[in-house]
Amino acid sequence: MYTIAVIADSQIPDRPCRDLLQAIKKSGHNAKYIPISRISVVVDGENVELRLREVKLQVDGAFLRSIGFLIDLEQFIRRLTVLRLLEESGAIVLNPLEGFLKSRSKLETVVELARRGIPVPRTVCTEDLYYAYVCCKEMSEFVLKPIQGSRGFGAVKLSDPDIAFQVMKTLLSYKKPLYVQKFVPKPGRDIRALVIDGEVFACMYRIAPEGSWKTNIAQGGRGTVCEKVEPELRELAIKATEALGLVYAGVDIGEGPSGYVVFEVNGSPDWRELAQVTSKNPAERLVEVIISRIKR
């Protein structure tokens, strides 16, 4: 019997975390929910240990779901060390820390994808207000996104470079990098492919609410099953997941005027809507995958 943890930022597990905990128990193993803030690093002489209070943390595997959203740089640095030590202890961490971190940055994501020839929208990420303004003028229709964001929160679509100028100036005064991306017209929907261990496990269209360009479920988008995943789409989703060093990912794909475009690769995707519309349970598959990797 293995002990498999689910690690996240919140004190209370969210729905995907609960699904994972349930699937771990169902497969006959020990499930443990651990808020990352509760894991301490103890250095005593030559001995370096992760602990939950006085008890040494010993797990065979862990699902890393979140390292926190509104956290300070110093908290982030501490948590990085915790997770690195966890991986070094021999535990199988899904997603692996390196890929998880890359996928958290929209900038790292487009860089890694573009380098492997995966189509992404033209993107400029800068702290130079004047240059960002010039790029907005060139792009004519563009999207400003938080470099670390999800669920469509905070992404704005603009076409007026001077409105963008005011927004970007404000963002910079709060030390936020500017992430400007050319708007890709799409047919009122995009595609969410959930890749698990080298296969598309499930796929759906996300239909944008009337009049909106965002398809996120959190923004009122609605899923419908995508039964037939054509080989080009399948290969793209798998390649994008691997490009970031992820074992599983929710890949967001647009159907642009000149073909598929990858918008995002989520290293800890929510799957509520996907599970509902496809009647498939990603958590059970993920538990199979982590167990097979623990056994290796």
Q: Which amino acid is at 51?
A: R
Name the helix (H) or strand (E) containing 259: strand 259-266
Is 121 a residue that touches ligand ADP (CB under 6 A)? yes
How far is it, in rounded angstroms, from Cα 111 to Cα 64?
A: 23
Nearer to Mg ion, 150 or 278 (CB): 150
Is 150 a residue that touches ligand ADP (CB under 6 A)? yes
Binding map of ligand ADP across residues 195-234, x = CB under 6 A, - = no contact: ------------------xxxx------------------
Site for ligand ADP in 127-146 (CB under 6 A): 143, 145
Cβ-contact 96, 245 below 8 angstroms: yes
Binding map of Mg ion across residues 225-254, x = CB under 5 A, - = no contact: ---------------------------x--
* Angle, alpha carbons 7-8-9 (nearest 5°): 140
* Cα–chain center distance at 215: 16
CA-based nearest residue to 219, from 230, 231, 228, 210: 210
Q: What is the CA radius of gyration of the chain?
A: 20
Name the helix (H) or strand (E) containing 225: strand 222-225
Is 267 a residue that touches ligand ADP (CB under 6 A)? no
Six-digit token pair at 166? 């005011």
Is 263 a residue that touches ligand ADP (CB under 6 A)? yes
Is 176 a residue that touches ligand ADP (CB under 6 A)? no
Is 32 a residue that touches ligand ADP (CB under 6 A)? no
**DSSP label at 248?**
E
Shortest distance (Å) from residue 256 CB to ligand ADP:
8
Q: Which residues bind ligand ADP (CB under 6 A)?
A: 121, 143, 145, 149-152, 155, 181, 183-184, 186, 190, 213-216, 252, 254, 263-264
Q: Which residues bind Mg ion (CB under 5 A)?
A: 252, 264
